Amino acid sequence: MTSPDSPARFRPLDPNQRRVLGVLIEKAMTTPAGYPMTVNAIVTGCNQKNNRDPITTLDDIDVGNALVELAEMGAVAEIDWMGRSSKYKHKAYEWLGVTKAELAVMGELLLRGAQQLGELRARADRMEAIADLAALKPIVEGLVARGLMIELTPPGRGQMVTHGLGLPGEVPAMSDHAAEHAAAPVARAAAPAATDEVAELRAELARLTERVARLEARLPVEPGEDSGARG
Domain ranges of the chain: 15-96, 113-207
State the first-to-last Cα distance of the chain, in angstroms, to the nearest integer: 55
Evaluate if residue 79 carries a pLDDT over 80. yes
Q: Are 170 and 113 in contact (CB under 8 A)?
A: no
Q: What percent of the chain has pLDDT over 90?
A: 64
Q: Phi first, then psi: what are they for 73, rounded to 5°?
A: -80, -15
Q: Are 47 and 119 in contact (CB under 8 A)?
A: no
pLDDT grade for 190, boundaries at 50, 70 and 90: very low
Q: Give the span between the Cα atoms of 182 and 176, in whole angstroms.
A: 10
User: For strand 160-163 and strand 87-90, is the pairing parallel, antiparallel, or unpaired?
Assistant: unpaired
Evaluate if residue 19 carries a pLDDT over 90. yes
Q: What stretch of H or E contains 161?
A: strand 160-163
Q: Are 13 and 69 in contact (CB under 8 A)?
A: no
Per-residue confidence (pLDDT) for residue 5, from 0 to 100: 57
Q: How many residues does the chain have?
A: 231
At 81-110, the pLDDT tens digits run 676 789 999 999 999 999 999 999 999 999
Evaluate if residue 228 carries a pLDDT over 50. no
Write down the CATH number for the domain with range 15-96. Answer: 1.10.10.10
pLDDT grade for 186, boundaries at 50, 70 and 90: very low
Per-residue confidence (pLDDT) for residue 38, from 0 to 100: 95
CA atoms in the 13 A half-sphere facing the CB of 135: 13
Task: Give the dihedral of Cα atoms 160, 164, 170, 176; nearest 10 deg.
Answer: 20
CB burial of 98-130 (b: ≥16 within 10 Å; e: otherwise) equals bbebbbbbbbbbbbbbbbbbbbbbbbbbbbbeb
At 113-162, the pLDDT tens digits run 999 999 999 999 999 999 999 999 999 999 999 999 999 999 988 999 99
Q: Model's pTM, two decimal places?
A: 0.78
Per-residue confidence (pLDDT) for residue 67, from 0 to 100: 98
